Chain A
Amino acid sequence: MRIVSLVKHTPDIEGDRRFAADGTLDRAAAEGRPCELDEYAAEQALQLAETHPGTQVTYLTMGPEDAASSLRKLLAMGGDGGVHVLDSGLHGSDAQASAAVLAAAIRRLGFDLVLCGMASTDAGMGVVPAMIADYLGVPQLTYAGRLSVADGSVEIDRETDTATQTYTASLPALVSVTDRTGEARYPSFKGIMAAKKKPVEVLSLADLAIEPARAGAAAAWTVVRDITPRPPRQAGERVMDDGAGGAVLADFLAARKFI
């Protein structure tokens, strides 16, 4: 089985995340790392490889130079190789353009299963997986809380507000996973050493036969007019419970007409 597992290089969400003057995320401000939600996808890819001998796991990222470090981090967990779509024309790409580029790279690689995170931790739109499925013309099984592959089909459990649903489709298919699928493994020292020697292919827009006019900020279908930091919430009063904490709270809620 050929698995392509997607990883976006994202600013650490605990770090100082800011916007640059052009309205794009300032990727230099906070340290970059593999999107945490994509690590869950990588973990599922590696588990499938363990139970399905002969499986190839390739990580795919689209992003600036630094994104290579996210590929290496996942390769240290396991997997066979990486592909990095790197092109100065990509800066400022919107979801549609990103999905078009990623779909072109996936098609070039060949695949039975594409795995994605449920959403990126920066853009957080949760739309790229559905768009890639649309471009590739394969079934989408998104927001999987569990997944399994058998006899050329993939099956997922998906939790909605009111029910748990099981869906199945034949491969090739695209699956996005939630953090319910289980924590990613830590890389071993051996894994970190091995990752250094694993192949990473770098592809440009030209390699993918995508016209420059179809990617980057100029091709975006939305324009940011204004970005305003939300004033951080102020810490209010902190009261030690000396036996009357519940009553203090009740007074506060009553004063604000909540009770």
Chain B
Amino acid sequence: MPQVLVVADTADGLAAKPVQELLTLARRFGPPAVVLFGPDGHRAVGAVGAFGAERVFLVEDPLTTEGLVLPRVEGVLAAVAELGPGPLLVLTGSSPDARETAARLSLRLEAGLVTDAVDVAPDGDGRPVTRQSVLAASYQVQAALTTPVAVVTVKPGAVSPQPAGEPVTPQVQRVDVAFSGLARAVRLTARSERAATGRPELTDASVVISGGRGLGGPDAFALIERLADQMGGAVGASRAAVDAGWYPHAHQVGQTGKTVSPQLYLAVGISGAIQHRAGMQTSKTVVAINKDPEAPIFELADLGIVGDLHAVVPQLSEEIDQRR
């Protein structure tokens, strides 16, 4: 009987890398069950089976993908009721939706909650112990959850996804949810999709190239995009660049944007304000290009080039092309 319940983030797409990571972590605690939302959930059954999910709960009502948080909470609670005894541990992602779903689940299940964990593992008694970065990544905290049930939201990239030794054919169950009036009270009235860029997701890219106010305008983001494409990276931006309307908010790195932890972070025309550093300082290697030798970003850069980005970036792109 699974004791670990993985709650897919609807933003994950179908069994994309984030769910595979959660299932990889979940298996440390035993055979996992997984909740998938939305009418397309059944298409991911094979994929989650490959990562060891023994049971799959499909909560197909479109309210779970269109509504805001509460429909998903009620969907998970319905799945928990089907699961019988347990679960011991609920694992989900760290997007705003996932975190808020976790928040409300923690109240309903009277479960301790840890958000934004970068690791979760059982202690000697099988109880979850988490690790997280706090205060703009200046501290690492290890925490234990003392309640019978625990809810943990995990950052992308906490673990590299490992398929189960033996693929499992999950037992699949469709869950009908009797949604509360409150779950229907928040209505989606408009939605405008942005075109996909074809580049890797910011949060799981191993290379991130970010541009800031130093770019001077939206056009210079073409330099950043070219570099990103040459290196198979994702494009990030500072809040100043986003606020100026030069690049979409979904690409913002920092306190009120995404937290990234790539192998390489290249900051171009970014000063390195603490709110920006909060989102990138756990990157393995940091490189910065800035014309101001006193820019704070250099304090954490493994290599800093003091110069005009309009000269340095095109030259770098040329060099990369020549070295192919």
Contact = CB atoms under 8 A, between A and B. Distances in A.
Interface stretch (A187-195, A196-204, A222-230): A222-230
Interface in B154-197: 182, 185-194, 196
Interface secondary structure of A, over-half rule: mixed
B256 A179 contact: yes
A206 interface: no
A109 interface: no
A99 B107 CA distance: 10
A168 B249 contact: no
Interface string B285-324: 1110100010000111111111110011111111110010
A135 B107 contact: yes
B274 interface: yes
A95 B106 CA distance: 10
Contacts of A131: 103-104, 106-107
A19 B315 contact: no
Interface residues of B, number: 92
A168 B189 contact: yes
B191 to A, nearest CB: 5
Contacts of B239: 179
B185 A169 contact: yes
B68 A167 contact: yes
B215 to A, nearest CB: 16
Interface string B88-115: 0000000111011011101110111111
B11 interface: yes
A252 B301 CA distance: 12
Interface of B: 11, 68-70, 95-97, 99-100, 102-104, 106-108, 110-116, 129, 133-147, 182, 185-194, 196, 201, 207, 230-231, 239, 249-250, 255-256, 263-264, 274-275, 281-282, 285-287, 289, 293, 298-308, 311-320, 323
Given A130-B103, A142-B100, A230-B139, 10 more contacts: A96-B113, A130-B99, A161-B250, A167-B187, A224-B142, A225-B143, A233-B281, A246-B315, A248-B303, A249-B287
Interface of A: 13-14, 17, 19, 37, 94-96, 99, 118, 121-122, 124-131, 134-135, 137-143, 145, 155, 158-170, 178-180, 220-230, 232-233, 235-241, 243-250, 252-254, 256, 258-259
